[in-house]
Structure 1
């Protein structure tokens, strides 16, 4: 009779552990595959080129960024607006396309441009205090002769990061 109780207890425990494992796997899957909410878009001017950029100006939108996107329009990008001007760093976790990132100060002056490989954990940082980061398709800046010292003209109302 004790063996029957032990067998039932093991079956119940197995089902409980299996259920908990599946629940945790579902949570992990959702966390690894976040969906970016619809972000506001603005126009940015870089020399003679007009860019339409989604604005990531909250903790959540900056954290998700370009994750899980399969493409980006020719002159489309994502503008990250940070709370403070300081060294800012980016990485490409769960990002499916290679990108350039231009870090810029509060006035929009580009500090540096870094090339970022999809799906890597390499860290790419600004070379100075950055308030902005603009992600574009790989080699977008080089093809247009844009880089350090050039200025992004961003609407003043866009420069405030939110919580």
Structure 2
């Protein structure tokens, strides 16, 4: 093989090796998927029950939600605050724990509660115009006898959305 051809093959090999290494690094760094940054915690009441909920009130925090979490505390959840009161839908992509979601209108009245299975692409929607959604461990609402019509009592800081 001529010297110039050998250098061309080495350059191609190095480029291929570098591209492969970068590709593997990207796969490894994204293997677990996105993880939610530390979010503000708000205390709210569902009927007479106290919940400490992480506040997902921006496009990014709502998109990531509880993805890739291994667990959720006993009376802990995530409160999604939407920009507009309309039909809202959720899914469980990259979510590792079974959850229930309670959709609530702009006054905090629960419209419906939907069970959601971890890792599924099933779509779960509000039964009417919702401004809030509260995700809790699966069975939490049922165990406490909380149904549609119950009131979410939200602090004022939990009602605003961010860009």
TM-score surpassing 0.5?
yes
148-157 vs 27-36, greater mean Cα deviation: 27-36
Structure 2 residue ranges without an equivalent (≥5): none
Instruction: Tell me which residue corresponds to 1:12.
Output: 11
Instruction: Tell me which residue corresponds to 2:143.
Output: 143
Q: Secondary structure of 1:20's partner? A: helix
Structure 1 residue ranges without an equivalent (≥5): none
Aligned partners of 1:77, 1:145: CA distance in 2, in Å?
Answer: 17
Instruction: Tell me which residue corresponds to 1:47.
Output: 47
Instruction: Tell me which residue corresponds to 2:95.
Output: 95
Structure 1 pair 112/34, CA: closer, same or farther in 2 (3 Å)? same
Aligned partners of 2:28, 2:137: CA distance in 1, in Å?
Answer: 27
Q: How far is the alpha carbon of 1:28 from its aligned partner?
A: 4.6
Q: Give runs of aligned pairs for residues 148-163 of structure 1, distance below 5 A.
A: 148-163=148-163
Structure 1 pair 56/20, CA: closer, same or farther in 2 (3 Å)? same
Instruction: Tell me which residue corresponds to 1:83.
Output: 83
Q: Between Structure 1 and Structure 2, how many residues are aligned?
A: 162
Aligned partners of 2:55, 2:99: CA distance in 1, in Å?
Answer: 16
